[in-house]
């Protein structure tokens, strides 16, 4: 019995040493045997001889762990580089639709993949309490249920919420929507469900964190080939380009004239798979894209000083009406007189 206990302690020691190397070591912070023994005693209440430390480290190396010695031992290779962890942590901080509790838990899990020195380099993570994150929603649960429904090709039922004038999220309908789910995508820092409301034939997008009361039905979802946009299969990259603001509706061929200063912006928003044709004797270019007309209206307004829509006429008319409305709104305001001195 005593031999069995001693064997268990030896197995436990190797796990504890690995944990200490993960937590406290890197190429700038190496650990000598005496340091490892001290940390084992402090963190785990374990006693270990110097020879046992050396033997366990050799065993860890035999098992494939990249451990080197330079005035002390340190763990070289980790699941994530610090730059990768920083990118993931910042992504969570920027996603205000992840509830505070889950955001903190995710960040704790990520930072645990590095050592204690990494946390000192990302002190800004302590600011999560002061950043705008929703107190609670069903985002993670919804993602799990929707992923299962998509895998099983089943319809789902759910309520959809929007803000009212009292700044409260309320259901948009009295009855749950019956929805055919096809894909979950991330756009503009938000998760969207690419789907179809069963009684219609178009593609629609739902903000996943605004879904509530979700349930999977026993009904098979509508074959995506029944939808115009998906009849030849679902091309996610193309879909994201054509729906830059995630509006629903069919995509149309849109012709633009862009100034030189807008070239970078249009490639940034609409991708590099575009033909940009220079106009003779001018610093402007002609670009043709296929995109959602409503989304392109807002995009063209955003870059209105550098972008002109040439086709279709319906989009040109909608933009002109929006500009005239904006002009009237500002005309009603008394603008300060500009004095050039």
The verdict on 143 and 225 lying in the same domain is: yes
Q: CB of 136 within 8 A of CB of 170?
A: no
**Is the residue at 174 inside a domain?**
yes
pTM above 0.85, yes or no: no
Task: With cut-offs at 50, 70 and 90, classify the pLDDT of residue 217.
Answer: very high
Residue 246 is predicted with a pLDDT of 72
Q: Is residue 19 part of a domain?
A: yes
State the average pLDDT over residues 79-88.
Answer: 80
**Taking a C-beta distance cutoff of 8 angstroms, is the pair 195, 157 a contact?**
no
Query: What pLDDT digit, counting tens, does each position of 290-339 carry?
Result: 888 888 888 888 888 888 999 889 999 999 998 888 888 887 766 565 55
Quick one: the chain helix, strand, coil %, rounded to 5?
45, 25, 30
Same domain as 200, residue 182: yes
Task: Return the pLDDT at 317.
Answer: 92
Which among 166, 176, 313, 193 is positioned nearest to 254, based on CA atoms? 313
Section 262-290 average pLDDT:
83
* 70 & 87 share domain: no
Q: For residue range 57-66, list pLDDT tens digits in order.
A: 899 888 888 8
- Please compute the mean of the pLDDT values over residues 276-295 and round it to a whole number: 86
In total, how many domains does the chain have?
4
Whether the per-residue pLDDT at 2 is higher than 50: the answer is no
Q: Show the DSSP H helices in the chain as ranges.
A: 2-24, 33-44, 50-62, 82-94, 100-111, 116-121, 139-152, 236-242, 263-270, 293-302, 313-331
Whether residue 150 is found in the same domain as residue 215: yes
Region 82-107: mean pLDDT is 79
Report d(CA 11, CA 196) in Å as an integer.
Answer: 55
Answer whether residue 227 shows pLDDT above 90: no
- The string of pLDDT tens digits covering residues 103-138 is 888 888 888 888 887 877 776 555 555 555 565 578
Specify if 50 maps to a domain.
Answer: yes
340 part of a folded domain = no
**Spatial distance between the Cα atoms of 64 and 18, rounded to a whole number of angstroms:** 12
Whether 242 is covered by a domain: the verdict is no
Average of pLDDT values for 7-16? Answer: 74
User: At which of 59, 75, 91 does a domain end?
Assistant: 75
> Given a cut of 70, is residue 340 above it in pLDDT?
no
Q: Could you tell me how many residues make up the chain?
A: 341
Domain holding 283: CATH number? 3.30.70
CA–CA separation, 232 and 259 (whole Å)? 35
Digit-coded pLDDT (tens) for 19-53:
889 888 888 889 999 999 999 999 888 888 888 88
Looking at the structure, do residues 19 and 43 belong to the same domain, yes or no?
A: yes
Q: What are the angstrom distances between the C-alpha of 274 and each of 32, 193, 280, 297, 310?
A: 58, 27, 19, 19, 17
> Within a domain: residue 3?
no
Can you tell me the mean pLDDT for 259-286?
A: 83
Q: What is the pLDDT of residue 3?
A: 47
Mean pLDDT along residues 240-264: 79
Q: Considering the domain boundaries, does residue 162 fall inside one?
A: yes
Asked if the model's pLDDT at residue 266 lies above 90, the reply is: no
pLDDT for 7 beyond 60: no
Residue of 100 and 301 predicted with greater confidence: 301
* CATH number of the domain enclosing 174: 2.30.30
Write the pLDDT tens digit of every residue in 126-185: 555 555 556 557 888 999 999 999 999 999 999 998 887 777 888 999 999 999 999 998
Write out the residue range of the structural domain in which residue 37 sits: 11-75
The pLDDT tens digits of the residues spanning 185-205 come to: 887 778 899 998 888 888 888
The DSSP call for residue 26 is B
Q: Do residues 65 and 95 share a domain? A: no
Sign of the CA dihedral 116, 121, 126, 132? negative
Residues 16, 44, single domain; the answer is yes
Mean pLDDT of the chain: 82
Domain co-membership, 69 together with 86:
no
Neighbours of 33 (CB within 10 A): 17
């Amino acid at each position: 019995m005593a031999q069995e206990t001693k064997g268990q302690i030896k197995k436990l020691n190797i796990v504890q040493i690995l944990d200490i190397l993960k937590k406290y070591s890197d190429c700038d912070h190496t650990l000598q045997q005496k340091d490892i023994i001290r940390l084992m005693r402090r963190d785990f209440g374990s006693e270990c001889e110097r020879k046992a430390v050396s033997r366990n480290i050799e065993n860890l190396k035999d098992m494939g762990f990249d451990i080197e010695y330079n005035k002390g031992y340190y763990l070289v290779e980790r699941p994530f580089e610090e730059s990768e962890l920083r990118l993931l942590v910042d992504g969570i901080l920027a996603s205000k639709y992840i509830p505070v509790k889950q955001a903190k838990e995710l960040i704790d899990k990520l930072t645990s993949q590095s050592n204690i020195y990494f946390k000192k380099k990302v002190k800004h993570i302590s600011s999560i309490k002061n950043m705008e994150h929703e107190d609670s929603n069903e985002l993670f649960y919804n993602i799990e249920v929707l992923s299962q429904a998509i895998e099983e090709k089943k319809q789902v039922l759910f309520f959809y919420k929007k803000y009212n004038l009292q700044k409260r999220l309320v259901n948009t309908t009295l009855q749950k929507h019956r929805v055919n789910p096809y894909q979950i995508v991330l756009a503009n820092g938000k998760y969207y469900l690419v789907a179809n409301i069963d009684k219609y034939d178009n593609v629609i997008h739902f903000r996943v964190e605004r879904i509530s009361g979700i349930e999977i039905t026993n009904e098979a979802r509508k074959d995506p080939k029944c939808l115009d946009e998906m009849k030849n299969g679902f091309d996610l990259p193309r879909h994201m380009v054509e729906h830059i603001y995630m509006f629903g509706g069919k995509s149309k061929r849109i012709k633009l004239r862009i100034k030189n200063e807008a070239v970078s912006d249009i490639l940034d928003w609409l991708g590099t798979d575009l033909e940009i044709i220079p106009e003779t004797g001018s610093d402007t270019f002609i670009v043709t894209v296929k995109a959602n007309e409503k989304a392109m209206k807002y995009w063209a307004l955003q870059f209105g000083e550098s972008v002109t829509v040439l086709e279709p006429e319906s989009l040109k008319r909608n933009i002109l009406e929006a500009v005239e409305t904006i002009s009237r709104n500002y005309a009603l305001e008394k603008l300060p007189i500009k004095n050039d001195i």
